[in-house]
Amino acid sequence: MVNKISRKLKARIRKGKKDLDINIKNFFEWIKGAEIIELKECEIKKDPVRPELDNVFRTSYGRKIYGVKYKNEIHAVMCFAFTNQIPKTVHELDLFSRDAFLQSATRDQNVGKIAIAYTVWSNKKGGGKLIVKEVYKMIKKSNHLNRLVTLSPLTDMARNFHLKNGAEEIQVNEETQNFEYKIIK
């Protein structure tokens, strides 16, 4: 009787280990095969942070949308505004990115010195962390961007996400909080 239970337990452990190995392999396969791309638009209804901002807002005045693409599907999205100041509200984000865009038109065409990530979401485990990492690398390579800062909602989820991914809290505002990912060139 004990021997029979022992065999069943061992079989269940082997099956569990095999399932875990498959899940880990699938996870790393999708991470390795993913690429970051610039998007012309995103499905704003999927945005849990700022669904009120339409695609025109997200792509006007030098603002950009990036996605993590794997097997022709977008699994994570991050939206940016490029500014020369750190905004405390979405209204300031709009004003500061317009100002940076207009300044760049008379100079070198490089919009702003600060990349402000104002929304990020993921449909697949690991996608949020991956897009932060890939965008960080892209900003690090740029000639004109020297800071990566967030305009995040006042939630523990946002706070924990950014702190866990290496950001430093730089200020807490009335409606938002800002975190900075240090760019070391």
Question: What pLDDT does residue 46 have?
Answer: 93
Question: What pLDDT does residue 23 have?
Answer: 46
Note the pLDDT tens digit of each residue in 143-180.
778 889 999 999 999 999 899 988 999 999 999 999 99
Which residues face 68 on adjacent strands?
Answer: 36, 76
What parts of the chain have a pLDDT lower than 70?
1-32, 106-111, 185
Question: What pLDDT does residue 70 have?
Answer: 87
Asked if 56 and 49 touch (Cβ cutoff 8 Å), the reply is: no
Distance between CA 161 and CA 72 in Å, rounded? 26
Question: What pLDDT does residue 66 have?
Answer: 94
CATH class, range 36-181: alpha beta
